[in-house]
C-alpha cells in the first residue's frame, strides 16, 4: 500500500517564494492527487538555541498537525526540516524533494530549458546534509535535467562549508556571521551559485553572489549571464512574513484544488 504523501515547505522557503511553493505543490499534486500539506516550523530554531523542552513541545505540535491530516510520508524542501523530522518523529517518514524529483521525473516542459543559458552555476551544498549523498546527487540530477551547466567547487558535498546562517549565529555574533558568509562566497569561482536552501541563498546574496534557489531555476525563467538574482527577500522581515502568509494560502489552495 502506498503511503499518504504530504508536502511541508518549512520556514525560509515559503518566506522567500510563495510562487515556488505553489508550483512545486501543483506538480506533486499531479503525481500524488491526494497530496496533503502542512505549513509550520519544524522547531529547528528552538532546538539550535538549546531549548530542549520547548523544542519537544513545538515539535509535538507539528507532529499533531501531520497526524491530523493523515500524512505518512512528508516531502520537505528544507534540509533542516529533513533532519529534524528524521531524527525526532517516531512514525512519520520523511523524504527530501531533491531525492523525490529524480524518482518521479521533471515535467516535460522544463527539461533542457537551461541548455540555452550561458551561465555556469556553482553549487552550494547545505552543511546540515553534508553526508546525504543522495540529496546532493538529486540536486545535480535536477540541474542536469534542466540542462544547466555546473562547476564543482573544492568545498562541495561532504566538504561543504556553512553559509554563515546556521546555528543561530547571525543574531548572536553578526560580525562573525558576515565573515563566514564572505568566506563561503569566495569558495566559488562563478558569480552564479545555485542553492537548495532559501536561508543559504540569502547568505550568499549578502556575500555578493548571484544566488538562485534551485526552485527558481525549475519553475522560473531561463537565467542568462548579466541577469541579476532575485531580491534578497529574507533580509526584509515584513516581506518575508507577507510571503509566508501567501505560501500558507498556496498550500491550502493547491491541496484543496
- Give the DSSP H/E element, type plus range, for residue 66: helix 52-68
CB-nearer residue toward another protein: 103 or 249: 249
Residue 127 CA to its chain's centroid (Å): 13
CA distances from 252 to 38, 76, 205 (A): 9, 16, 30
Dist CA 35 CA 256 (whole Å) = 9
CA gap 203, 198 in Å, rounded: 9
User: Beta strand 120-123 with 210-213: parallel, antiparallel or unpaired?
Assistant: unpaired
Pick 111 or 133: Cβ nearer another protein? 133
Q: What is the closest distance, in whole angstroms, from the C-beta atom of residue 87 to another protein in the complex?
A: 13
Of 28-36, 116-124, 138-146, 207-215, which part binds another protein (CB under 8 A)? 28-36
Listed ranges 45-53, 88-96, 102-110, 224-232: which one lies at the site for another protein (CB under 8 A): 45-53
CA dihedral 107, 112, 118, 120 (to 10 degrees): 70
Among 38, 85, 101, 150, binds another protein (CB under 8 A): 38
Q: Which stretch binds another protein (CB under 8 A): 90-98, 173-181, 211-219, 228-236?
A: 173-181
Contact residue for another protein among 17, 24, 46, 156 (CB under 8 A):
46
Sheet holding 192-195, edge to edge: 149-151, 120-123, 192-195, 210-213
50 is an interface residue for another protein by CB under 8 A: yes
Judge contact between 97 and 132, C-beta under 8 A.
Answer: no
Of the residues 98, 121, 165, 219, which one makes contact with another protein according to CB under 8 A: 165
Member of 3, 30, 69, 115 binding another protein (CB under 8 A): 69
Judged by the rule CB under 8 A, the positions of this chain that interact with another protein are 4-6, 11, 32-41, 43, 45-46, 48-54, 58, 61, 65-66, 68-71, 127-128, 130, 158-162, 164-174, 176-177, 179-180, 183, 241, 244-245, 248, 251-252, 255-256
Amino acid at each position: 500500500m502506498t503511503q499518504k504523501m504530504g508536502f511541508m515547505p518549512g520556514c525560509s522557503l515559503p518566506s522567500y517564494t510563495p510562487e515556488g511553493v505553489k508550483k512545486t505543490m501543483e506538480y506533486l499534486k499531479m503525481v500524488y492527487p491526494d497530496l496533503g500539506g502542512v505549513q509550520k516550523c519544524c522547531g529547528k530554531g528552538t532546538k539550535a538555541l538549546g531549548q530542549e523542552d520547548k523544542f519537544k513541545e513545538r515539535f509535538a505540535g507539528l507532529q499533531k498537525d501531520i497526524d491530523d491530516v493523515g500524512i505518512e510520508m512528508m516531502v520537505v524542501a528544507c534540509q533542516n526540516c529533513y533532519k529534524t523530522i528524521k531524527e525526532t518523529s517516531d512514525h512519520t517518514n520523511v523524504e527530501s524533494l531533491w531525492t523525490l524529483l529524480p524518482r518521479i521525473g521533471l515535467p516535460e516542459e522544463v527539461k533542457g530549458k537551461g541548455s540555452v543559458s550561458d551561465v555556469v552555476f556553482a553549487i552550494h551544498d547545505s552543511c546540515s546534509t553534508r553526508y546525504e549523498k543522495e540529496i546532493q546527487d538529486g540536486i545535480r540530477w535536477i540541474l542536469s535535467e534542466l540542462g544547466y551547466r555546473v562547476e564543482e567547487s573544492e568545498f562541495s558535498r561532504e566538504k561543504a562549508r556553512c553559509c554563515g546562517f546556521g546555528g543561530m549565529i547571525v543574531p548572536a555574533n553578526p560580525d562573525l556571521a558576515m565573515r563566514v558568509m564572505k568566506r563561503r562566497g569566495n569558495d566559488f569561482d562563478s558569480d552564479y551559485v545555485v542553492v537548495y536552501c532559501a536561508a543559504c541563498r540569502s547568505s550568499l546574496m549578502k556575500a555578493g553572489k548571484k544566488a538562485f534557489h534551485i526552485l527558481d531555476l525549475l519553475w522560473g525563467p531561463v537565467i542568462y549571464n548579466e541577469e541579476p538574482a532575485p531580491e534578497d527577500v529574507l533580509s526584509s522581515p515584513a516581506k518575508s512574513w507577507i510571503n509566508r502568509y501567501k505560501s500558507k494560502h498556496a498550500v491550502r489552495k493547491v491541496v484543496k484544488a
